[in-house]
Amino acid sequence: MAETKLTVADNLAVSIDFALRLADGELIDATTDNEPLEFLQGQGQIIPGLEQALYGMAVGDEKDVVVAPADGYGTRDADAVEVVAHDVFPPDLTLEPGMALRMRDESGRAFEAYVTDVRPEGVSLDFNHPLADETLHFHVKIVGLRPASNEELEHGHVHSPEHGH
């Protein structure tokens, strides 16, 4: 009897190696040797366009995936930029353009903002993701696939084995 090969499906713990480039070929992000990206499939832990492309792939499979902005980091919102007073930030924090900040709104929801400019009258923050409007070019390889444990499913993320450090 032939053994059924495990393929990417919801609630599996997936490990991938990937390289992410922009349309012009610039390398934006990639996994390093022996440090794959691990996530639970079907939980929205990676961008939708990439997650959808992985269904049905098996360990060792590789593919190139092109993700449009709508299925990646969204389209840029010109209104999502504002100038914030310096006293909103801790006095010991040195703000520099390009820096990512984790912030909370009045209702306590966490989000990221990116410093675009630091001027005497305030700090200009962009609430768009830096890759908004970008078409993303992934090269992805499945390097690990296994059923997620009940605990991982309850917690909503992959538990890495302890490395003994």
Express each pLDDT in 83-124 by its tens digit: 999 998 888 999 999 899 988 878 888 888 999 999 999 999
Give the chain's largest Cα–Cα span.
Answer: 73
- What was the pLDDT predicted at 33? 78
46 by DSSP, 3-state: which?
coil
Q: What is the pTM of this model?
A: 0.79
Q: Which residue segments constitute the domains of the chain, with CATH numbers given?
A: 12-73+133-155 (3.10.50.40), 81-126 (2.40.10)
- What was the pLDDT predicted at 165? 36
Name 16's Cβ contacts closer than 8 Å, sequence gap at least 6: 31, 36, 37, 54, 140, 141, 142, 143
Which is it for strands 37-40 and 100-104: parallel, antiparallel or unpaired?
Answer: unpaired
Q: Do residues 125 and 115 make contact, with C-beta atoms less than 8 angstroms apart?
A: yes
- What was the pLDDT predicted at 164? 37
Name 150's Cβ contacts closer than 8 Å, sequence gap at least 6: none
Where residue 50 falls (left for φ over 0; alpha for ψ -120 to 50; beta otherwise) is: alpha
Task: Copy the structure tokens of residue 16.
Answer: 């991938």
- What was the pLDDT predicted at 3? 62
- What was the pLDDT predicted at 163? 40
User: For each successive 10 residues of the chain (165 residues), what is the average pLDDT?
Assistant: 81 96 96 90 95 97 97 94 91 91 84 92 93 96 95 87 45
- What was the pLDDT predicted at 109? 83
